[in-house]
Each structure stands twice: as structure tokens, then as C-alpha cells.
Structure 1
Amino acid sequence: MPEEPAENISGGDAGGGTAAEFVPAEADTRAEAVVDELGQMYWQKAYGGQDAFECLVRTILSQNTSDVASQPAHDSLMDRYAGGDGDSADGDSADGDSADGDSADGDLAAALADAEQSELAETIASAGLYNQKSEMIIGAAERICESFGGADGFDEFVKDEDPDTVRKRLLDIHGVGPKTADCVLLFSGGRGGVFPVDTHVHRIGRRMGLASADADHEDVREHLEADVPAEKCGFGHTAMIQFGREYCKARKPACLDGPEACPLYDLCDRVGVDEVEETVVDPAEAD
């Protein structure tokens, strides 16, 4: 089985968790059969263990951009505000003490709650939408410090509280949508049965016919979480993202090159894909 690629932030080493194995049985649903095949193609992994606030920040940075763009932004943010190994732009020492708001106890949430927005925006510029994302991150940090006393209290809340309660509180933070909340539940809390839906998962779920063609992100999530066993949802999410990057691309899915080009061809309805005309539309626009 291939190694999990480091460039897949959500599924790579930074996602936390440990390798897991399962023996694909007779799948009860087509969605489970798809995830079983993805597990054989890519990886099987049990997630959890990532620091909850860092996970939240990382996921905000990844919104509307690629891992290639958001990873350097995350690294720069951690270097400046969490005492990374690198020196910051204004000459801070490698131990992370800086003039721009690092807290004395190294609490990342406290440091970012005190951050100067223009400086944070400059730090995360590679992630795109840096003004908007810097506002979101500072606002989230302020809320978490007010509600939980800082990053440690938030981490305990995410890992110990009822998942529905955690999700509701996360969604109440400006800039946190369902996918971001679910990523925190999965990669930090290690909650089974959570299948975050990003652009790739939304497209693939509808194109394959695992959800209705006009399903929104929440509808796709509900279908997948209902049809995929809880222990398979986490790696199903990360592996489906990888499958979307390699095979089931938005404009040119592999099936346009013939049935043999896509390993999941026999499990797919190809909604919105015309293999004869070699055209592709969003599933919601298909006849």
C-alpha cells in the first residue's frame, strides 16, 4: 500500500493518528464499498491526537486554497506565534519570544488573540485571502480564550465533550463552517463516524451517485456518515480527497480515458459525465 503523501495536510503526518488495518468484508452499501477500495488504494488510518486549536487554525488556513499554499502559511504562523525553530522577520529569538504578542506560557490561542492583524496577514499571505483569514483566526482565538481559558482548555473540550455539543460550539465561531468543524472533531478529537466534506468529497459523492445530484455539502455528509461504518469515515475522507486529485478531477475525470483508467469505474454512476461527447458538468446540472 502506498505511503500517505506528506503534501496531503489533512491526511499526512500533521493530521495525527496512527496507521490502522481492516479486512474489507462484504460491504453493506455502495459507499462502504467505495471506501474499502480507497483504503486498498491509499491508506487506512485512525485519526485523533492533534492539538485542537492548531487543527482549527490549520483548517482555516486551508479554506479555498491548496495544501501547497497553506502549508507554508501554517509553518510561518507557528514559527512566529508558537515558538517555532525559525527566527521571525523582526529578529525574534528561536525560542519563540517575540514583540508581536506571544504569550508567556506559549499558549498559541493567547498569542493569536493578541496578534496584530496586519502582521498576521503578512505571515499567512501564501494561503491567500490572508486579510479575511487573519480576522477569522484572531476572532477564533479571542473566543477560545474567553470560553475555555486558552488552547489547553479548548483541546480538553474537543476531546472529552459530546461531539454534537463540540460541533455546535465550533459552528458558532465566525469563519468555522461544517467542514472545518468536522475536521477538528476528526483530526483532534478522533471521533469515529465523522466524514468531513470538502470540494472533492462533495463532487465525488454526487458524481458517483452516493448522494443526490443536487445535494449540498451537509446532505453529502449525512449520506456518507449513514452509509459508511464509523471506523472507516476518517480515512475515507482523506483517501477520497486524494482520489479526487489523482482520478476524479473536476474538469477531466479519468473515466473520459476509458473504463480501465478509473479503478472505481464499476462503482460509479458518472452523473454529469458524458463519456461519448467527453463533456463534464456539475452533477446538479446533469439531465
Structure 2
Amino acid sequence: MPEEPQENISGGETASTAARFTTSEAETRAEAVVNDLGERYWQKTYGGTNAFESLVRTILSQNTSDVASQPAHDALMERYGADDSDADHDLAAALASAEQSALAETISSAGLYNQKSSMIIGAAERICDEYGGADEFGAFVREEPATAVREALLDIHGVGPKTADCVLLFAGGRDGVFPVDTHVHRIARRMGLAPADADHEAVREHLEADIPGEKCGFGHTAMIQFGREFCSAREPACLDDPEACPLYDHCDRVGVSPESGAVVDPSKGAAEE
């Protein structure tokens, strides 16, 4: 099984472990898709990342590529993270007291750096005030009911559903959490796993309802990789040859016409023949 590319993991370098599941007859088409993706890419369970760092990393990844957000994360950790001599260092406290202009300069490679620096400082202040620091916040994410954690995360300015779900998955290690990014949103609707006009939350609800909880985490990361390799927004592999796409037989190709080469967003209906 190939190693999972770290750029697919909004939670960063996760404490993931190999997982296995039985790929006997799936109960839903969505589960069959994840089974095939698991065979092609990887099967891992997630959890164990630092919850606050995972939150910061996912904020940095908003509206940008991993190629841009990773250097921003590395620079932030180098400037504000702990060194080997400070075992009691609290990243949340360090960022809560950070000067915004300095933080914005540090994370500039991620884009929208003024907005993101404000979000990060605000989140750090909130976590210090409400939980006491990064360690206590991590315990909350790991130990409290997932619905309560998600609700609390969504109440933090700058934290949307995908960010909250990534923290639940990569830091909390929660089953049944399927974060929806742009790749997942596009592929699920294009394949017919969710309604063509479904927003990100509706796609999440359909996937989490149709896929066993223990398969959601690696389904999320594998679907991202599949989107990058085979089912891109403008040039899905099926335009060249049905056999070029390993999931062709599972797909409704909503908004895609291999005959004409037309590709539109699934919400706009059938592509022109």
C-alpha cells in the first residue's frame, strides 16, 4: 500500500495507523467507492495530532494550496512553537499574544495573511480563555462528544465545517467524520453520491450516512488524491477514455460529457452533448 502524501492531510503529520476492512459487497454505492479508493491508495485511521496545531494548520490551508500553506505552517512553528528547552511552552498562549503584523508576515505564503492572522490570534485567545491552553483544548477535542466539539469549533470565528471536521478527524480520531473540501464536494456530486445542487454540508451528511464510520477518514483523504489524479475540475480522466478512470463504473458523470468533452459544475445540470 503506498505511503499517504502528507499534502492531503489538513491535520499535518498524523499519528495514523494502518487499518483494514472487509471489502465484501458494499451496502451503498458510496461505500463501494470508498472500498475501491482504499484498495488504490491507503487505509489508515487517524487521531493523535495536536488539536490546536491542527486547527491552525487548517485555517492556513483555507482558500489556498498545500504547496503554499505548508511553508506558512513551518514558518509559524519555527517562530512561535516550542524549542527543545521549553517543555511547558503553549502554542495557543504564544499566538494569543502575537503581534498581528508579525504573524501576518510569517504566514504570508499562505495568502489572505491579514485575515488568517486575525483568525488565528482570535482562536488562540478564545482557547486560552475558555479552556486554559492548547493541552486542555486537546483533551476537550478528544474526550467530549463529537457533536459538542463540532459545535464549539464552529463558534470560533474563522472556523467553518471543513476546518471543524478536520480537527475532529485528525486530532480527535473520530469515526464517522468525512470532511468536505472542494475535491470531495465536486466528486461526490459528479458521481451522484449526493444531489447535484448539494452544498458542502449536504454532501457531508450524505457521505456520513452512506459510509461506515471507520471508513470515513481514509475515504476523505483518498478522495482528495483521486480528485487530483483522475477527477479534476476541468479535465476528468473519463474525457480521454472510460478505462482511464478507475471509478468509471460507479459514476453518473453529472455535468461531464465524454462524447463532447464538455464539463460543467454538477449543479448546472447535464453537460452539452
How many angstroms does 1:21 deviate by?
Answer: 1.7
SS at match of 1:24: coil
Letter in 1 for 2:42: W
| Alignment match, 1:215 | 198
Provide the residue aligned with 1:28 in structure 2.
27
Give the equivalent residue in structure 2 for 1:187.
170
Q: Please name the residue that 1:108 is paired with.
A: 91
Task: Give the structure 2 partner of residue 176 of structure 1.
Answer: 159
Whichever residue aligns with residue 264 of structure 1, its letter is: L
Are the aligned partners of 1:159 and 1:190 in contact in 2 as well (CA < 8 Å)? yes
User: What are the within-5 Å matches in structure 2 for residues 115-264 of structure 1?
Assistant: 115-264=98-247
What amino acid is the match of 2:155? D
Deviation of 1:215 (Å): 0.2
Report if aligned partners of 1:9, 1:71 keep a CA contact under 8 Å in 2. Answer: no
What TM-score, normalized by structure 2, do the two folds share? 0.96
| 1:214-254 deviations in Å (ceiling 9; x for gaps) | 00000000000000000000000000000001110001000
| Residue ranges of structure 2 left out of the alignment (5+ in a row) | none
Q: Would you say how many aligned residue pairs link Structure 1 and Structure 2?
A: 270
Letter in 1 for 2:33: V
Quick one: which amino acid aligns to residue 217 of structure 2? G
Asked if the contact 1:46/1:234 (under 8 Å) is kept, the reply is yes
The alpha carbon displacement at 1:18 in A equals: 1.1
Residue 14 of structure 1: how far off its partner (Å): 0.7
Give the structure 2 partner of residue 76 of structure 1: 75
How well do the aligned residues superpose, as a CA RMSD in angstroms? 1.4
Counterpart of 1:10 in structure 2 is: 10
- Give ranges in structure 1 of 5+ residues lacking alignment: 85-93, 97-103
How far, CA to CA, are the matches of 2:8 and 2:137 in structure 1? 25
1:95 Cα offset (Å)? 5.2
Judging changes above 3 Å, is the alpha-carbon distance between structure 1 residues 39 and 195 closer, same or farther for their aligned structure 2 residues? same
> CA–CA distance in 1 between the matches of 2:259 and 2:251?
16
